Every structure is written in structure tokens, then in C-alpha cells.
Amino acid sequence: MLTQRYQVAVLLAVVLLGGCYLLLPLGASYLLANQLRAYGYSQVILQLGYPGWTQMTIPVVSFQQDLGEERLMISLTDAEIQYDMGLLFQGRANRILLRDVAIHVLTVHSTGAITGGKQEEENSDEESSPWRLLTAGDLLRTLPILPFGELQLERLTVFREQATGPLRKVTIDGELTSTGNEVGGHLSFRGRDTGSYSLVVAGKSASTWSATLSSQRPQAAPIVSWQSRSRPTGSSDIQVDGQLRMDVQELAPFIALLVPIGPELEKVTGQVALDWAGVAATEAALGSLWEDEHTRVDGQVRINVTLPALKGVAKDIALAYVGRFAGNATQAEWAMSPGVFLTATVNTQPRLIPDAVRLILPHGDQLVRIENKNVVRGTLYWKDRPIRTVAQGPLQVTYGRPSGPVVATFETTRAEGRGSELILVEGAYQLEGVLPGALTERLSAKEAAGRVRGTVRLDRAHIAGVLLPPSSITIKQIGQGAVFVPGATVNLSEPLTVECDLIPRYCSAGPLTATILAPTVRIGSQTVSSTQGLLSIPEMETRETNWTAGGMLVITGVSVGAGGTIPAPSHWVTKFSADHTNIGADLQIDLPAYEGVVTARVEQSLQTPYGRLHGTIGPVRFDGAERRLSRLTRAVGPSSDLLDGTISATVDATWDETVGNHSSRTRVISASARLVAENVSGYYHDYGLRGVSTSMVLRAEGTDSIMMVQPATLFVAAIQSGVDVNNIKTSYQARWKLADPFPIVELKDLQCEMFGGMITSPGLLVDLASPSSMTTFSLRDLDLAKILSVDQQRGLEGTGTLNGTLPVTITSRGMVVDDGVIEAQPPGGVIRHLSTSESSKALSDSDQSLQFVAQALNNFHYKVLRVGVKYEETGMLNLSARLEGRNPELTQTPPIHFNLTVQEHIPTLLKSLRLIEDIHGMIERQYSRP
């Protein structure tokens, strides 16, 4: 009975043990899978085999985890663990065999951020980290016994999707052994179409290690060689020495795993050497080693690397660095020896460059060169949060090729950063070259080039700088509206202070003082030349794309027109205010004897060609001495001048873009002017003018013609040409098609006083382009005594009143008078010939007929005096005179009739009256006997 019970119990125990054995792989797989999920892994697949007396298989292990923008996927198949039962109970396996392991790192898009709870969990894990339990003294101890004697890899495949080069996919095999307190191993791996690489590792303690990575080619140099050794010092400290050597050319396939350097791996060359020595307290915990005040480290670094490219960043990269470093619990100091640190060709501009500077710098492939001619020192304060970095020394950065459009040089004297943010930069800069088209278009120019230098300080989002002389900029072919400048150069005279806040994109600058050299400026059809300009702007501001500025421009040595319409030296002063939409300027022109001779207000849109002008000339007063027209302008010749009186003018004009059949251009769309002369006196060739007064308003009709808005009145006190013409009055109106050589002038109600009488005309249309224009001049109440009193008419005097009409035809070749008549008003008058001793002697020697005529003219009372006038285009004047009357002293003599003909070539009609003095000679020749 008892035996049967034992048999049942044994049977149940066997069944129970068998059940546990059968359920062991499933249960263990479940527990381990949950543990992996707890560590953040997903898609966990775990299958364990049944354990044997000496070995156990693991058919499948697979899991994955998202790492930012990449996903880590690990899978093991057909793994095997070999053990002895005795060692197994001690926690060791004889051998672990991994037949097929695959590690894939694939690219994905991150869908979330780390939560606060996870962050707190990480902090908690960090506080409970085993590194907090180890001390620096543990580095001197031998390595602990590993849980296996041998780890063998038959096939390990590693693939990273973002990597480039032949090691994008790597196959690894090898073994790692643990014998006593020493660990050694040898791994061999190869990439696609590459030779095999060998990694040999040996370690005796936590800090005494050596590792060598080399190619398995014959006589191949080591790729990476690392050695670390620790030893106690005489005090309670330990010292750790180490060195690292890398052959960058052999390391190229591995570099391509981390950064995209492109397929041209044969262009990768260089060496890296790092030597260090550190001291730490024996009792310092490894987790807080850098917080211990006894911790110190120093060493030196030598780097010389060339890379063909970093995809999307730069190419043809050459890096050279030689320096030392030292650190303690609070900071690390480094020093870089003089030399060329970096040369590369970049195709993207660094983000730390302000937007205002980005507009100037060229885009595309540009050469970058970083060098220091003196030692550059820096300090890393890693105890600060975030970590703070300070660098001091003349580090020079050059951007742009010497043969390129722009070369920018920046030499920093101090730089400071917190974390990944650059918070302070101080230094000097220089820009030289041609500005890009986007910036010259804002200046309405075709090309702009310059050379500027200065100092700058970047403090987080605030920039403060000083632009230093002799910075300059040359702009070519500036055109806006009716203004065109072939070329101008601006030279900075005094330092210019500039401050900018990058976050609101606000900048202010000033005061600005600069000289401007613009030899010629074309305004419409006029050319303005100058010697030099002085520009002063108290303050300028910009906010994003908007800007404002105001100041004054003084230009000396100005002349207008090709022949110098306004003689130099004229002085131009312009006060202006401008913003991103338009510019307005007030102009004043001073001459040595005329202050404010011209004033104008000009407004020009900077977004459209539209602009307008309002200007005034004078009032200019002449005094006949220094203040005369010939001293004001060279437009008048030596035979013309204004000596007295006042002149003034106002001008208004607007211009805009007009669209034609095939193109558009800027043209004047409206213009008007008002000219005023008050009591002006002067001369024109042989004519003297006195008391000229008029006021006219002109208006331009497009750019084709100019016309007077309404008739204007002209008054001239006197015209002097040997015979005075006084009180000339008329109304006139003119229009001028600029394509025609002369304007058309219409005169109405012309009248003047001459020889005590009045000359009038109803009107006259003067158009030299037409065949002819006609009018009639009426002569009323001319005093014969005043006619004969002309200085040249000596020996004749008389009385009487003359009236007449002169039909005048004006052609392009001159003036014609046909059938003009001048008659004495009834009852006539008296003409007397006053004898002189010379004329009496001549008459005594003449015949009786001439003596009779002379006697009759001594006191000739005429009843009829009629003169016919004919004037030809050639200037030939023909006068036919008929004189009827008698001398009352000759009672026995019947009435006498004289018929005289005078022909003379004279310049004007009025001068014909001077020929009266020839009457005596004509009578003598006509009545003398042969």
C-alpha cells in the first residue's frame, strides 16, 4: 500500500517535472519578452529551445526600437549556449554561439517627443546607475570574470540606411574569450566589395585596454590604435594615461557609416593623434568623476584630415589642428596653435549669419578658409547648464573665392556660446567685391561694388557694429524716373555706428558722414556735373523690409548743361527724407552773388517711376555791376545781357512710366512754368531794352509741345537803336512743337510811341515755318519836327503831323513792305533848310536852278507831303516822296512840286528815317545842270 503511494507520488512528481520542463521555454520566453518591452522595445518575438544537459538552443529573438528619426531592428536565429552543469550553477557558460545576427538601422520620421514622465524616469535611472557605485580606484582592479568563456560570432550583419560607402552593410564574424582576469578577442568584418578588417582587443583592468583596428591586407598599417593604462601615484590618487592613433584614409569606410562623405573614398586622407594623462582621487565615484575637485586631465591633439565632401554641406574639406587641452571638475581649457584650421567649399550659408549679411554674400559653391596667426585659447565650462564655451584669440574666417564676386573676411577676438547657441561674438570684418543683383535692384542700379570694413559685436539677438573709413561703394548706371546717374562713388568719412535686433528685425544707424563723387547726373535732357558731394544722415532705421532715412547732401562745383549753363562754382544744398516707398528732397542752389537763386522740391516714388518737381528761380535782382545775367549764366552770349530789374520763375513737372508698342519708358507726363520779368533793362546786339515787364505761364503737352496757357501782356518802356521806341504794349501767346525749329507766336493789339506819335497793329502771327504772315501797322500823329531832329539830320527842321499805313509781310527770309504810305496831315507844315557857311559857299558856286531850290527850302510851306514805302526781303528800302507848297517870301514864284526817290540798303525800317538827311543831296543832284 505504501509502495503504491510512493509510486503515485513519484509519478506525480515526474509528471509535474515533465510539465515544468515542457512549459519552461514558453514561460521563460514570455517573461524575457515582457522584460524587453519594459525597456522600451517593441515587436518583440522570443523563442527559447528545450535545455539539454550540455547545451540549449535559441531559435528566434527579434525586437525593435525607435531612435529619433531612425529605427533599430535586431534579430537572432539559431543561437546556441554550451555549458557544464557544474559551471552553469556558478553562472558561467562555456561557449555562446551566435550563428546569424542581423542589426538594421532604418530611416523613419519621428512622431513624438519625450514626455516629462519619461524624462523623470531617465533621471531616476541615472541616479541609480551602477557607475555611481564604482570608484576611480576600481579602475586599478582586474576585470571581473565574465559569464562565458568564449563568445563566437558566425555571422553578424549590420545595415544602416543613412550611411554611405561600402560599409553601409557589414558582415562580422570572430570570437571573444575570457581567461582568468584577462579578456581578449579577434573580430573580422567586411563590407560590400571590400577587403576584410581585423579588430584585436585585449584588457587587464577597467582602465588598461588596447585595441587595434587594421586591414587584413599584407603589411597594412593599423587603422585605429587605442591604448589606456592606469597606475597609482604616491598620494591617494590614480593616474590614467592613454593614446589614440587613427589612419583617416584607412578609416574612410567607417567614416562613411556616420556622415555622408560620398563615394570618392580614395580622396580621404589624414592622421589623428591624441595623447592624454589624467589624475583622479581613488575614492571618487565614476558617475561623478568630473564633479570631483581632484580630477584633472591634460593632453595634446594633432589632426590632419581631408574629406571629399559632406553631402549637402561642403566639399573639398581640409582640416588641420594642433593644440593642447586641460580640464578639471568645472572647466576644460584648450589652445590651438597657429595655422590654417579649415578650408572647404560650402554650398549653404551658415545659419548664424544675419539676414542683412546674407543678402550681400554670394550663393552657390564658395570657398571657406579658417586660420589663426596667433594662438587661440578657449574654455569649456561644463558645470554650467547649459554648458558655456568661451574662445579668445584672432581666428580669421574668409568666405568667398578671390576671383569671385564677393570676398568676406571676419576676424573674431572673442566668442561665447551656451549649449548649441552662439550668444556672443566680437571681431572685425571686411567685405570686398560686387554686390548681388537682388541688392542692386533695390538701389535702382545696374551694378554696385564696394569695399567696407569695420567691427561688430553679436550679443545673442543684438548686433552692434562700427563701419570704419575708408569704406566705399561704387554704383553704376543708377536710374529712377527722369534721373540717371552713370556712376557714383560713396566714401565713408567718419565711423558709422550700426545696431540691430535680429528677432524684431530692427536696425538703426548713424550718424553717417560720407563724400560722394558723381561727375555727371542726367535729369531729363539736362546734364549736371559736379566736383564733390558731402552726405550727412543723422539716423537711419530699418524694420524688416521697411526703412527710413533723412539727412542733407551738399554738392560743390556744380555746372548745368554741356556748356555750363550755370557757371561754377555753384553750391547745391539738398535736405531729404526717404523711406522704402518714396524719397522727398528740398534743393537750394547758391551762387557767389546769388543766395537761393534756385529752390526746388522733388518727390520720387521708389516703387514706381512716378515723381514730381516744384521749383522756383529767384526772384533775381540785377544791379548792373556784379549782379547781371552774364554773371549768373553762360546761356547768354557776349552781345546780350540784363542789367537791371527782377526776374523770377516757377516750374512744376510730373513724370511716370508710359507703355508703348513694344516697351515702356519713363517720360514727363505734365509740366508747367511761370516766368515773370519786372522792369528789366539790358541790351540785345545793337538794341537797348528798358523797363521790360511781362508774366507768362507755359505748359508742356506731353513731351512733344509747349504752349502758353493764356495770352500774356508785354510792356517795354523803351527800345533804343538810334531812334527810340517807347511804351511798347502788346499781348502775346506762343506754342511750340519741339520737333519744329521755331515756335509760333501770336501778337495782338500791338502799340508803341515813336516820334511823338503812335504806331499800332491789330495783331500778327509769326510762324517762320509757314510761307508768310501779314499785318498792317498804322502810324498816327508822328511829329515831323522830332523826325528831323534826329542827330544825323543836321541842317533841316520843320513842323507837321504825319499819318500812314505800312502793310507788312513776314517770311522765313525776312520782312516785306508793299505799298506803304506816309502822308502829312492837313493843313501841312513848314520845312526849313538852315544854311551853314559851308553850304552857303557851295550854293554860291552852283547854278541858278539849285540856288532857286535852296531859296525855296529856306522857308518852304508845304500842303502835301506823301511818301511811298517799299521794303524788300533783301533789306533794300525804296522811298518815293512827293512835296507840294511854296516859300511865302518868294511872292513872284508859283507853287513848287518836288518828286524825290531814295533807294538804300538798310537793316531795319526805323533806320530809314535817317535817310532824310540825304534829301538835300538828292535835290542837288536832280536839279543841277550838267
Strands 148-160 and 93-98, sheet pairing: parallel
Cα distance between residue 737 and residue 513, in whole Å: 46
Hey, is 204 helix, strand or coil? coil
Q: Contact 43/61 with Cβ under 8 angstroms?
A: no
pTM: 0.62
Q: What is the mean pLDDT of residues 595-623?
A: 89
Whole-number pLDDT of residue 911: 47
Long-range CB pairs of 515-519 (<8 Å, 24+ gap) are 515/490, 515/491, 516/488, 516/489, 516/490, 516/491, 516/553, 516/555, 517/488, 517/489, 517/491, 518/485, 518/487, 518/488, 518/489, 519/486, 519/487
Q: Contact 874/905 with Cβ under 8 angstroms?
A: yes
Q: Contact 448/433 with Cβ under 8 angstroms?
A: no
Q: 587: which 3 cell numbers?
A: 534743393
Q: Which amino acid is at 885?
A: G
In the block, residue with C-alpha cell 535586431 = 74
Q: What is the mean pLDDT of residues 881-885?
A: 87
Q: Contact 887/893 with Cβ under 8 angstroms?
A: yes
Whole-number pLDDT of residue 205: 58
Q: What is the mean pLDDT of residues 600-623?
A: 90
Cα distance between residue 557 and residue 525, in whole Å: 20
Give the pLDDT confidence of 407-429 residue by residue, as tens digits: 889 899 999 988 878 888 899 98
SS3 content of the chain, % helix, strand, coil (to 5): 15, 60, 25
Minimum mean pLDDT range among 556-560, 581-585, 767-771, 895-899: 767-771
Q: Give 198's pLDDT tier (boundaries 50, 70, 90).
A: confident
Give the pLDDT confidence of 506-562 residue by residue, as tens digits: 889 989 999 999 888 887 777 888 888 999 999 999 888 889 999 999 988 887 776
Whole-number pLDDT of residue 275: 92
Minimum mean pLDDT range among 260-269, 330-339, 843-852, 876-885: 843-852
List phi, psi (to 5°) of 37: -65, -35
Cα distance between residue 80 and residue 93, in whole Å: 11
DSSP bridge pairs for 734: 745
Whole-number pLDDT of residue 758: 94
- 202 pLDDT above the threshold of 90: no
Cα distance between residue 789 and residue 834, in whole Å: 13
Q: Contact 241/277 with Cβ under 8 angstroms?
A: yes
Cα distance between residue 651 and residue 277, in whole Å: 86
- 615 pLDDT above the threshold of 90: yes
Q: 250: which 3 cell numbers?
A: 584607412
Whole-number pLDDT of residue 116: 42
Name the residue among 740, 733, 739 with its Cα closest to residue 766: 733
Give the pLDDT confidence of 6-17 residue by residue, as tens digits: 766 666 776 676
Whole-number pLDDT of residue 160: 81
Whole-number pLDDT of residue 786: 85
Whole-number pLDDT of residue 135: 54
Please enumerate in sequence order all residues whose Cβ is within 8 A of that of 761, keeping only pairs 6 or more positions apart, or say none.
747, 750, 751, 775, 776, 777, 778
- 917 pLDDT above the threshold of 50: no
Q: 291: which 3 cell numbers?
A: 564633479
Q: 820: which 3 cell numbers?
A: 506803304
- 693 pLDDT above the threshold of 90: yes
Buried b (16+ CB within 10 A) or exposed e, 656-674: beeeeeeeeebbbbebebb
Q: Give 804's pLDDT tier (boundaries 50, 70, 90).
A: very high
- 133 pLDDT above the threshold of 80: no
Give the pLDDT confidence of 331-382 residue by residue, as tens digits: 899 999 999 999 998 877 666 565 656 667 777 788 889 999 999 999 999 8
Rg for the chain, CA atoms, rounded:
56
